[in-house]
Amino acid sequence: MADTDNQVNKIFDDLGDAASARGEVRVGTIAENLGHRGIGPFLTVPALIEISPIGGIPGMPTLLAAIIVLFAAQIAIGRKHIWLPDVLERQTIPGDKLRKTTDKMRPVADWLDKWFHERLPRFASHGAKRIGAVIVILLCTTVPPLELIPFASTAPMAAIALIGLALTVRDGALMLAAYALAAIGLIVSLASWLGG
């Protein structure tokens, strides 16, 4: 089997391990559990958390966007290992909600693992990582104002999740799809600002 087989499910395994037997899960603990899987999960996981019911907690979308920007900036400058400041490491997420989110996402993980892996690899190359990271930062800047509109931040966060997933499974075709969704997310954000 290829190295990328079942990568998404492995990410959820790591999240489940981080959340098990804990009332609150530190962001630093999540980062430690995901660190050996490369940089992609550092974009995918916070975005998926924001899309989940956890994202309905006031202030959580902006916090998660700030965390993603920190990760994406490090990817953009070429860092291979992600660093977290102490103030973010100590932030917590409810363990029960994290476990419920991972359980609900398992069918999606199964489907993603089945279909996405190592196509058009040049679009998921080292240079593509940096381009994707810059796009992620742009998408994150749209989240704080969108937090005032219910579920409006789902579009940019979905694009961020796909970019991270494409990097995780090294799938260039998925990266191109993520770029298209990112363009839609930016358009939705702009429309929301102009409509507001």
The tally of domains found in the chain comes to 1
Tokens at 28, concatenated:
């630093």
Average pLDDT, the chain: 80
Tokens at 189, concatenated:
């954000």
In sequence order, the 6+-apart residues with CB closer than 8 A to the CB of 173 are 116, 119, 120, 123
pLDDT band at 11 (very low <50, low <70, confident <90, very high): confident
pLDDT band at 1 (very low <50, low <70, confident <90, very high): very low
Mean per-residue pLDDT for 58-66?
Answer: 86
Structural domain containing residue 36: 7-195
143 belongs to a structural domain:
yes
1 belongs to a structural domain:
no
150 belongs to a structural domain:
yes
Residue owning tokens 């796009």: 135
- Residue 10 CA from chain centroid, whole number: 15
Cα–Cα distance, 23 to 104 (Å, whole number): 19
Mean per-residue pLDDT for 70-84?
Answer: 85
Tokens at 114, concatenated:
């089945």
pTM for the full predicted model: 0.75
187 belongs to a structural domain:
yes
92 belongs to a structural domain:
yes
Pure H helices in 83-171: 86-89, 95-115, 126-141, 143-146, 154-169
2 belongs to a structural domain:
no
Is residue 18 scored above 90 in pLDDT? no
What are the angstrom distances between the C-alpha of 49 and each of 67, 130, 191?
12, 23, 24
**Residue 171 CA neighbour count, 13 Å, CB half:** 24
Tokens at 132, concatenated:
């994707």
Contact in structure between 139 and 64 (CB atoms under 8 Å) = no
